[in-house]
Structures are given as structure tokens and as C-alpha cells.
Amino acid sequence: MTPLFHIHKANCISPQESFQQINLETLHDPVGKKMLSVEPGYENIPLGILRRMGRAVRIGVGTAIPIIKETAAADGIIIGTANGGMEDCIKFLNQIIQYEEGQLTPGNFVQSTTNAIAAQLGILNSNRSYNITHVHRGLSFENAAIDAAMQLVENKTNSYLLGAVDEISAYNFNIEYLGDWYKDEDVLASELYTGDTKGSIAGEGAAMFLVNKNKEDAIATMQAIHMLHTENEVLVAQQLRHFIETHLPAGEKIDLLLSGENGDNRILKYYTAAEKLMDEDVAIARFKHMTGEFTTASSIATWLATYILQQQQMPAHMTKRAGHSSTYKNILIYNNYRGAQHGFMLISGKD
């Protein structure tokens, strides 16, 4: 099978120390049931522009700018997000009431649209090429990645900035907390998987990648992606088995299952079904105690996969089951959003 694309650069801003000076061994805990991103100083963003940015735009642009500055102009910007700048959207709606539909400040409105991150990146870099945002709830990043792969089928020499970003907004947090998607009790990150209760912890973050068809100097390869909508764990297991049999290169094996298990006992059955498909020598790791649960968490998983493939190691707190392999070459990511949206990604390291 021909790979979808090769990953050449990867950056991530998350609730852990994942940007520039990376330290994943130190585990940051949630505060008030929220895993907020550890934001850098954003030295690459002009201060006049930075102070006008909404939080989601700031995180997304801050993650992408170093990649853009280190490379030639990308031939397109492809971003996945479910909520975009929801916090700014609510601020703008509140202004309508506060000022009785009078003279409103446009900043919150401009920053509130879901395509604000991709648009801001295009403006900052004078990039007039392909610019699109995918909004598909828990499969937003997967759809963005497939779009990048489709673009590269037609434009084999191009490179694209691919990424995803979502923030914790007060509006979304309150609605989803009332919907029982977050835990009633406060939990430490290290204790997320030990309880048997419903809900998870709120998360946020951004991950950005430079992708193209050039295998030379790539840090990882996206072999395949598959998505499905179902609440039947048997069908999920069947589809995952078929995905592995179809896309795993001949003679290769899965070295690591990177699971999106999130501490919600209502969702656990899907991840258990996936784990049962793995041979005993396959390592199993989890990541949502580091990121929290949010719609584009799979983009952070993709960044983690590239990091593990480069470093050939991962923090002990991620490990659920140790494998027998001394090296990581093929990593399978399985992420599930609310028991209905399922995404599989197969990522390989250098030969």
C-alpha cells in the first residue's frame, strides 16, 4: 500500500511540556477538572497581533509558526477543529446584549469563527494557497489529514501545513459538564484510569505537522486512516482488524497501540475490544491523562507517535502494558469520541 504522506516537522502545545523544551516525564495535573495548555511566550508572534488573538487562535498559530519559519512556504494550510474560537464567539454574543446591538468591537467576532486559525496563519505568512478548516467534531483532525492526502495525490510535489486545535471554553465546559461528559469528582492525572465512574477531564491543545510525499528526511509516515460512526463495539473490532490486515506492510507488526482511553467507564468497552485484537507482545499506552478529553485529541496522539518513533521511548506513566519489542516502528492510534465516532491511524517510523 502507498503511504498517505510523510511527516517532516511536528509541533505541539498541550497541557504538558510538549513545546520546544519537551519534558513528558513530569505530569501536570488538571485544575478544576480542566487540563489547560502550557502556553509559551509566543516570541514569533508580533505583540500587536498577539494581544488581539483569541486563545484558540493563539495556541494554534503559536504551534504552527516555528514550522512555517523553518521551511519554505507551504502549498496549503489544512486545519481540523470542532469549536474554533468558541470563547470569543460567546464574548461577541454577550456584547450584542451589553451594547444593545450598538457599536460592537469586531475583534471577538473575527476570532470566533472556526476558520480563524487557518485564516490567521495565511494572513501572517501571506499565504494565498489552499486554506481550509474541517469541522467534524471528534473526527475533525482525521478528516483534515485525509484532505491533505487527497491534495498530495493531485499535487505530488507540494507540502502542506496540517494540524488541529481546540480550546476549553467556559460555555462548552459548562454544557458538557451538565451532560455528564466530565467527572463529578476531582481526579489527579495519574488516577484517571483507576476509578469506575462516568466522565473524563476536559482538555485542549494544538498539534501541527508539515507533510508531503517526499520520504527523504521524514520523521514519520502516515500509512493509513480509517473512520467510522457506530455504537457497536463488535463492529469497531471488526473494522479495526480489517484496517490492520489491509494497511500494515507485509512482514511488519504493530509495536504499540496508542489508546484514547479516557477514564469514562461508558466508553471503556470500545478500547477493551481493540486491545483484545493485539498480540501479547504489542505494547499498549494511553495519553488522555496528559491531554484530557477533547474533540481533536487524536492530533496530540499523532504528535506523541512521531515523538515516540524518534526517541524510541516514552514516559512510564503512559504504559498500560509493556510489549516485547525493544524498538517502535509501527504505531496504531485508536481514538474514540463519545462512543460514536471512531478513528484509526497507522503511523510508521523510518526504515
Which CATH number is 231's domain given? 3.40.47.10
- Measured at the CA of 127, the angle between CA 122 and CA 133, to 5 degrees, comes to 45
CA–CA distance, 39 with 17 (Å, rounded to integer): 9
Same domain, 22 and 166: yes
Domain stops at, among 179, 212, 245: 212
The predicted structure's pLDDT at residue 73:
77
Instruction: Report, as an integer, the average pLDDT of 224-246.
Output: 97
Confidence band, pLDDT 50/70/90 cuts, at residue 147: very high
DSSP percent split of the chain into helix, strand, coil, nearest 5: 35, 25, 40
Same domain, 305 and 187: no
| C-alpha cell recorded at residue 298 | 487524536
Same domain, 187 and 230: no
Question: Is pLDDT of 65 > 60?
Answer: yes
Higher-pLDDT residue of 250, 209 = 209
Same domain, 108 and 252: no
The predicted structure's pLDDT at residue 249:
84
Same domain, 35 and 162: yes
> Quick check: pTM over 0.75?
yes
Task: Name residue 13's amino acid.
Answer: I
Mean pLDDT score of the chain, rounded to an integer? 92
By percentage, how much of the chain surpasses pLDDT 70?
A: 92
Instruction: Report, as an integer, the average pLDDT of 236-251.
Output: 94
Domain stops at, among 192, 212, 232: 212
Cβ pair 292, 30 in contact under 8 A:
yes
Same domain, 177 and 261: no
Same domain, 249 and 300: yes
Confidence band, pLDDT 50/70/90 cuts, at residue 90: low
Instruction: Report, as an integer, the average pLDDT of 130-143.
Output: 96
Same domain, 70 and 14: yes
Same domain, 195 and 266: no
- Number of domains composing the chain: 2
The predicted structure's pLDDT at residue 115:
83
- Residues whose CB is less than 8 angstroms from the CB of residue 179 and which lie 6 or more positions away in sequence, other chains included: none
Cβ pair 200, 293 in contact under 8 A:
yes
Q: Per residue in 268-312, pLDDT tens? A: 999 999 999 999 999 999 999 999 999 999 999 999 999 999 999
Confidence band, pLDDT 50/70/90 cuts, at residue 60: very high
DSSP secondary structure, 62-78, as one string: HHHHHHHHHSSPPSEEE
Domain that holds residue 42: 5-212
Question: Is pLDDT of 95 > 60?
Answer: yes
The predicted structure's pLDDT at residue 243:
98
Same domain, 118 and 177: yes
Confidence band, pLDDT 50/70/90 cuts, at residue 148: very high
Q: Per residue in 10-49, pLDDT tens? A: 999 999 999 989 999 999 999 989 999 999 999 889 888 8
- Start-to-end CA distance of the chain, whole Å, equals 15
Instruction: Report, as an integer, the average pLDDT of 216-224.
Output: 97
| C-alpha cell recorded at residue 117 | 486559525
Instruction: Report, as an integer, the average pLDDT of 179-203.
Output: 95
Same domain, 120 and 245: no
Domain stops at, among 212, 231, 257: 212
Same domain, 206 and 272: no
Question: Is pLDDT of 349 > 80?
Answer: yes
